Amino acid sequence: MRFILNSPLDMHLHLRDGGMLKNVAKFSAKEFAGALIMPNLLPPITDTQSLLSYKKRILKAVTGEKFTPCMCLFFKESYTADFLEKAKPHITAIKLYPSGVTTNSSGGVEQIDVKKLSPIFEAMSALDIPLCVHGETNGFVMDREKEFGAIYEQLAVSFPKLTIIMEHITTKASAELLKRHENLYATITLHHLLITLDDVAGGLLNPHLFCKPIAKRYEDREALLELALNGDKKAMFGSDSAPHPVSKKECCGCAAGIFSAPIALSALAELFEKHNKLTNLQAFVSNNARDIYKLIPIEKNVTLEKEEWTVPAKFGDVVPMFAGQPLKWQVKCVS
């Protein structure tokens, strides 16, 4: 059995920098036509010069592959309309992080006061620059995303022409919120379609499935599956593949992040086929993102075949999702 995807896109990807960038970027570049690259490096990408320099490093790391790194800036309260206008030709979006909610987010917004930040959001609306948001508060870990819903609603109502992407949604509440506002969209990860908190901490703790936002309840997963499997036009794939070395995962103070880049398309094909929805995979991993972001990706056809393989235990010093486990589909050809 064979299935061909046209120009798949990963609209939420962490490539890190330095040696880690060289190790992990090739996996995404091999199988995807492009990806939205997260800017939460140390220090974060907050200016055009740093952004263009980072893009050059990414392109060098994926030499020989047909792959477009779509760049975004790390939201700063100091941005002006003039700065945004000059940055627009080089960016696909701007990513807003509440301070301290996830990896390398300490430089984010301390308090999201929509009224105070309105000049930036108005400028982004006028320039048609999408706003990507890590939507969590600093409350109880299972409630953080739901608590952030009120901010999403305020943004959506106050700036109806602003394209707002709720990144890596994990709850039924977010899925319902998505349907209430025309200018709200969402990315959904592979891991949140497959796991719940039981898989992370229901038995022995599995550090390689620990991520932020943390996986939630079964009913939350079902709500995400309904969106993804049906190719809902407001939802798109964003892996949130976030590599950390073993020393940062198998330790006290485990880092948050799941490395799924090498297995993403294989696992998605298996999931969609299991639910008899394989024909909707094209919309979820490409078409919806093209429409939401107004993208024209490079032409790249990825052929998957139903042929079992075993996921390696490690890629360099990074343990992937499903390490050592079999997957029923694999990428056989890229053209």
- Indicate if the pLDDT at residue 106 is higher than 90: no
Find the mean pLDDT for residues 183-189.
Answer: 98
pLDDT by residue (tens digit) across 5-48?
999 999 999 999 999 999 999 999 999 999 999 999 999 999 99
Is there a contact between 73 and 45 (Cβ–Cβ < 8 Å)? Answer: yes
The 3-state DSSP class for residue 132 equals: strand
Give me the numbers of helices (H) and strands (E) for the chain, helices first please: 13, 11
Round to whole Å and give the CA distance between 333 and 307: 13
Instruction: Report the number of distinct structural domains present in the chain.
Output: 1
**Going by C-beta distance under 8 Å and a sequence separation of 6 or more, which residues neighbour residue 298?**
7, 33, 34, 66, 67, 68
CATH code assigned at 21: 3.20.20.140
**Looking at beta carbons, which pairs linking 267-272 to residues 24 or more positions away fall under 8 Å?**
267/190, 267/194, 267/321, 267/322, 267/327, 267/329, 268/190, 268/237, 269/3, 269/304, 269/306, 269/329, 270/327, 270/328, 270/329, 271/190, 271/193, 271/194, 271/229, 272/229
128 flagged as catalytic? no
Catalytic residue among 10, 232, 240, 317: 240
Q: What is the span of the domain harbouring residue 57? A: 2-334
Burial environment of residue 249 by CB neighbours within 10 A (0 to 12, 13 to 18, 19 or more): buried
pLDDT, mean of residues 212-230? 98
Q: pLDDT tens digits, residue range 223-242?
A: 999 999 999 999 999 999 99
Q: Point out which residues pair with 304 in neighbouring strands.
A: 3, 331
Please say whether the beta carbons of 135 and 145 come within 8 A.
Answer: yes
Q: What is the pLDDT of residues 273-332, one digit of tens each?
A: 999 999 999 999 999 999 999 999 999 999 999 999 999 999 999 999 999 999 999 999
Q: Is the pLDDT of residue 109 over 90?
A: yes
Q: With 90 as the cut, is the pLDDT of residue 196 above it?
A: yes
Q: Is pLDDT of 3 > 90?
A: yes
- Mean pLDDT for 180-209 is 97
**Contact assessment for residue 27 and residue 262, using Cβ atoms and an 8 Å cutoff:** yes
